[in-house]
Chain A
Amino acid sequence: MVNRTNGQSTHLKAVPKGEPAVLLTMAGISKSYPGVKALSDVGLQVRAGEILSLVGENGAGKSTMMKILAGAVKPDAGTISIDGKPVELSDTSVAHRMGISTIYQELMLVPHLSVVENLFLGNLVRNRWGLLDWKDMCARAVEIMRDLGYPGSIDVAIRDLSVAEQQLVEIGKAITRPCRLLIMDEPTAPLNREEVEHFFKIVRKLQKAGTSIIFITHHLNEIFEVCDRVVVLRDGQMVGESDVAHLSESQLVEMMLGRKLSLEKREWDRGVAPDADVVLEVDGLSTEELLKNVSFRLRKGEVLGLAGLMGSGRTEILRNIFGVDKPSAGTIRAEGKRAMFSGPRQALEGGIGLGPEDRKSDGLILSMPIRHNVTLSSLARYAGPLALRRGREVAAVKDLCQRLQVKYSSTEVPVGKLSGGNQQKVILARLLDAKVDIFLLDEPTRGIDVGAKGAIFDLIRQLAANGASVIIVSSVIEELVHVCDRIICLNLGRVTGEQARAQFDMAEIMINVMGGHSEAPQARVGDAR
């Protein structure tokens, strides 16, 4: 058994002096989901006691990788070994036994149970009578949580803790059992700056105790502050790996972006004159939790992109404009008039429409036919004195579907049966039928195949050419660069950059989005080399 070093050629190489031992090796890992190749032939090494950062754009394969290590997903091919011995992580309990703990982005705590109950959930300690040994568990809980710098009581219910404290409990939960590898998915996303500082202290402490850590983050400064090594994934492949000490921000961003624009290049008829009327003016928009003094203008016929990661405030900006959420400060003006809408209905009446981020859960009524979904916001126009004018409605829906090239057999087909691209078109049809002038589109191409994406972008450009104004939110920068006239970068609720089409520079947008220093990135590439 000891000789089985299949797929671990590194063991055969001379290990440089001082190089720490390898804890875990993944080799040739592939995983496909219907229609998507999530990972292809990925290899990864985790050294003992290192903090490894796994980075990549959305959809690069980070979460699949993490789920495989957690035992939640089985790879189609490839081997995993720990301490040089091949293992099969057939389910999560096996992974736990191997000393691998995973902290997901959505915390997996039970809100109404106490800290100590959550710490030992699924791992309860029994005394020799087979009863739960709360005395022992409480003693250990106090010790663990004190080490993590948690100030409160272990008897408090989870729902009464702050997010940062809840996260400490998650970490505590991971280390109640022997933990050799701790995997964390964007653990800093919900934390403020001081909390992040404290969190890093804990992480370093765990590292000193010999735990290896895989740390998924979107924030460049965090990678450079706390990580030893970084592995970059792109489109399900490993495209780079480096010690952080030998890496500059721009080099990292280049690795992440890789090849440029994969979409077919198109020259749009760009007709936004710089003096076109301003249709929407956002001034000093702030919210309690996230947005800080966001200001921008949208001109008639313009396609404006908001580039940002999850938690950057991109969705919040749209929701505030649409009247779903209320800002704590700032003003929004539409066509020169104050436009602080009290709800979606008022916003729609004011000519502003939202295509929500999550098509299925917020955008569409999947069980209902295309027709009902298209006229959802405009049904008043089809109301007769007694009953709805169905003939008119059907005709209007058919017309819209034709214009937007929705592929459908009948207007009575439930929307849930359509492909993602066609579903998105149904949402656009709804906004068109509601006769809005300003389209707020949150991730309009998420989960849509490349061909359909092109069609959606064509439609968006057509809308703009016909005098509508569009704000698009996306975390895929190349798509924004493809379709927008102007891009605003967001990081942690602040505007960190703005570029007009003539100056689009993907690397710089990426740096701004990830909260890196925006000053002269090119110079730093030179430095590092």
Chain B
Amino acid sequence: MTMANMRAFISSQPIILVLIALVAVFTIVADGFADAANISNVLRQTSMLGIVAIGMSIVVLTGGIDLSVGAVVALATVLVAGIANTHPPILGINLALFAGAAVGFINGILIAGLHLQPIIVTVSTMAIVRGLAMWLSDSRPIFGTLPKEFFQLAEGLIAGIPVPVIIFAVLAVATMLFLGNTRTGRAIYQIGGNEEAAVLSGIKVGATKVIAYTLCGTFAAVAGIILTARMQSGDAVRTGMGWELDAIAAVAVGGISLMGGRGHLVGAICGVLIIGFLANAFNLMGINPYWQRIVIGLVLAVAVVAYNERIHAFLLSRRRAQQPARGVPAPAE
């Protein structure tokens, strides 16, 4: 990427500048924010939501939405922790990945094959999957006999970088390459941009949507596996609660249009980091945690306003300062 391209890219993703500005401000106002240990810790904590948000971005780019991801996270923790009592953890990990992919696949089939509304389909799979996790675990936390090596998945460091952050980064880069450089990736944008035109141009719309939802479910399972290692237990009730909404918030803050077809994964990742850094800085500054929620809501509202094209057009027209159009003069008596 040349310098000019880089500059063009950053100006198309103003969220990058917002993230940099926030980090700069927090470095000044929040004591201990810029410490390596703190940053490393925030990133570790944020990477799981980040992985969910990557999957969500893929689905949102097709013009869809997936509300079942939080439940998939919970199911993954239950499967990994539950199986570990009797089997090696790798089996639980694979089972969780398979379950996540299966939930996504079913979502995709229902949405693409039967032309059902994504929001309805995934609300129902959300309830089913969460219920399944509760049934499997009897709604109690599962403290499986997990081996120490497994915890490395959350606590380990490679070259000083937390393992979850590395997994997050690898998945993010891989997904970016997938979206930008493959036919399926291109089709994801095309379907979100104009589904009718994509159909008439011979794009495999149904298959592409199924792939998008399957990836989304799988990524949620990955996040759930890391979360299990971090909590050293599985929990159907308290894990992944509301993550679907946090992921959607991150995606929207990052400038990916919920109508589909527009936006870049980099934006969604910045969105996740902004949410993570905000919460952390507020903790460090001793601000009431309830305010965190309020401010995150405000950030989302501001982002939605900032990305609204009608508002852009309005500001642009104001800047041009057109002469106010005169009304038709009243007829003289």
The reply to whether chain A is a binding partner of chain B is yes
Instruction: Write the nearest CB–CB distance from A326 to chain B, whole angstroms.
Output: 15
Q: Is B198 an interface residue (CB 8 A)?
A: yes
| A367 near B261: Cβ-Cβ < 8 Å | yes
List chain B residues, Cβ under 8 A from A362: 194, 196-197, 200
Q: Which of B177, B183, B194, B261 contacts A361 (CB 8 A)?
A: B194
Closest to B177 in A: A387
Instruction: Write the nearest CB–CB distance from B306 to chain A, whole angstroms.
Output: 18
| A367 near B197: Cβ-Cβ < 8 Å | no
List chain B residues, Cβ under 8 A from A6: 331
In the complex where A345-B204, A387-B182 touch, is A361 in contact with B196 (Cβ < 8 A)? yes
In the complex where A367-B193, A368-B189 touch, is A380 in contact with B183 (Cβ < 8 A)? yes
Q: Is B262 an interface residue (CB 8 A)?
A: yes
| B202 near A344: Cβ-Cβ < 8 Å | yes
List residues of B (128-184) whose CB comes within 8 Å of A's CBs.
177, 181-183
| A379 near B183: Cβ-Cβ < 8 Å | yes
Most central of A6, A77, A377 by chain B CB within 10 Å: A377
Complex CA distance for A77 and B203, rounded to whole angstroms: 49
Complex CA distance for A361 and B199, rounded to whole angstroms: 12
List chain A residues, Cβ under 8 A from B203: 345, 376
Complex CA distance for A376 and B189, rounded to whole angstroms: 11
Most central of B189, B190, B261 by chain A CB within 10 Å: B190
Q: Is A482 an interface residue (CB 8 A)?
A: no
Q: Is A383 an interface residue (CB 8 A)?
A: yes
List chain A residues, Cβ under 8 A from B261: 365, 367-368
| B182 near A365: Cβ-Cβ < 8 Å | no
Q: Is A205 an interface residue (CB 8 A)?
A: no
| A366 near B193: Cβ-Cβ < 8 Å | yes
Instruction: Write the nearest CB–CB distance from A401 to chain B, whole angstroms.
Output: 18
Chain A 342-385, CB-CB to B under 8 Å as 1, else 0, gives 01110111000010100001111111100010001101100100
List chain A residues, Cβ under 8 A from B181: 386-388, 390
Closest to A359 in B: B197
| A368 near B182: Cβ-Cβ < 8 Å | no
Q: Which of A376, A380, A383, A387 contacts B190 (CB 8 A)?
A: A376
Most central of A343, A348, A379, A383 by chain B CB within 10 Å: A379
Tally B residues with Cβ within 8 Å of A: 22
Chain A 321-332, CB-CB to B under 8 Å as 1, else 0, gives 010100000000
List chain B residues, Cβ under 8 A from A344: 199-202
List chain A residues, Cβ under 8 A from B230: none
Complex CA distance for A404 and B154, rounded to whole angstroms: 56
List chain B residues, Cβ under 8 A from A354: 200
Closest to B185 in A: A388
List chain A residues, Cβ under 8 A from B186: 372, 379, 388
Q: Which of B197, B204, B331 contacts A365 (CB 8 A)?
A: B197
List chain A residues, Cβ under 8 A from B262: 367
| B177 near A372: Cβ-Cβ < 8 Å | no
Complex CA distance for A354 and B200, rounded to whole angstroms: 8
Closest to B259 in A: A367
In the complex where A372-B189, A388-B181 touch, is A365 in contact with B200 (Cβ < 8 A)? no
Q: Is A31 an interface residue (CB 8 A)?
A: no
User: Which secondary structure dominates chain A's binding surface?
Assistant: mixed
Q: Which of A367, A368, A377 contacts B202 (CB 8 A)?
A: A377
Instruction: Write the nearest CB–CB distance from A375 to chain B, whole angstroms.
Output: 8
| A356 near B200: Cβ-Cβ < 8 Å | yes
In the complex where A368-B261, A383-B183 touch, is A376 in contact with B177 (Cβ < 8 A)? no
| B197 near A364: Cβ-Cβ < 8 Å | yes
Complex CA distance for A6 and B183, rounded to whole angstroms: 66
Complex CA distance for A169 and B276, rounded to whole angstroms: 56
| A348 near B202: Cβ-Cβ < 8 Å | yes
| A372 near B190: Cβ-Cβ < 8 Å | yes
| A430 near B201: Cβ-Cβ < 8 Å | yes
Complex CA distance for A349 and B202, rounded to whole angstroms: 9
Number of A-B contacts (CB under 8 A): 74
| A363 near B200: Cβ-Cβ < 8 Å | yes
Chain B 26-38, CB-CB to A under 8 Å as 1, else 0, gives 0000000000000
Closest to A6 in B: B331
Closest to B181 in A: A387
List chain B residues, Cβ under 8 A from A356: 197, 200
Closest to B191 in A: A365
Chain A 67-87, CB-CB to B under 8 Å as 1, else 0, gives 000000000010000000010
List chain B residues, Cβ under 8 A from A324: 199-200
List chain A residues, Cβ under 8 A from B183: 379-380, 383, 388
Instruction: Write the nearest CB–CB distance from B270 to chain A, whole angstroms.
Output: 20
Closest to A76 in B: B328
Most central of A343, A367, A387 by chain B CB within 10 Å: A367
| B200 near A364: Cβ-Cβ < 8 Å | no
Instruction: Write the nearest CB–CB distance from B258 to chain A, whole angstroms.
Output: 14
Complex CA distance for A387 and B199, rounded to whole angstroms: 23
Complex CA distance for A356 and B193, rounded to whole angstroms: 16
Instruction: Write the nearest CB–CB distance from B198 to chain A, whole angstroms.
Output: 7
Most central of A347, A363, A390 by chain B CB within 10 Å: A363
List residues of A (302-330) whose CB comes within 8 Å of B's CBs.
322, 324
List chain A residues, Cβ under 8 A from B196: 361-362
Closest to A375 in B: B186
Q: Which of A77, A349, A368 contacts B193 (CB 8 A)?
A: A368
| A365 near B194: Cβ-Cβ < 8 Å | yes
Instruction: Write the nearest CB–CB distance from B307 to chain A, whole angstroms.
Output: 13
List chain B residues, Cβ under 8 A from A343: 202
List chain B residues, Cβ under 8 A from A86: 331
Complex CA distance for A344 and B197, rounded to whole angstroms: 11
Instruction: Write the nearest CB–CB distance from B10 to chain A, whole angstroms.
Output: 16
Instruction: Write the nearest CB–CB distance from A58 to chain B, whole angstroms.
Output: 22
List chain B residues, Cβ under 8 A from A379: 183, 186
In the complex where A361-B194, A367-B193, A368-B193 touch, is A376 in contact with B201 (Cβ < 8 A)? yes
Complex CA distance for A64 and B30, rounded to whole angstroms: 61
Instruction: Write the nearest CB–CB distance from B6 to chain A, whole angstroms.
Output: 15
A/B interface sample: 28 pairs, CB < 8 A: A6-B331, A86-B331, A343-B202, A344-B201, A345-B204, A347-B202, A348-B201, A361-B194, A361-B197, A362-B194, A362-B196, A362-B200, A365-B190, A365-B193, A365-B197, A366-B194, A367-B193, A367-B262, A368-B190, A372-B190, A376-B197, A377-B202, A383-B183, A388-B181, A388-B186, A390-B181, A430-B201, A434-B202
Q: A379-B186, A383-B182, A390-B181 are in contact. List 11 more A-B contacts (CB 8 A).
A: A6-B331, A347-B202, A361-B194, A361-B197, A362-B194, A362-B200, A365-B198, A367-B262, A368-B189, A372-B190, A376-B201
**3 tightest Cβ-Cβ pairs between the two chains A and B:** A365-B193, A345-B202, A387-B181
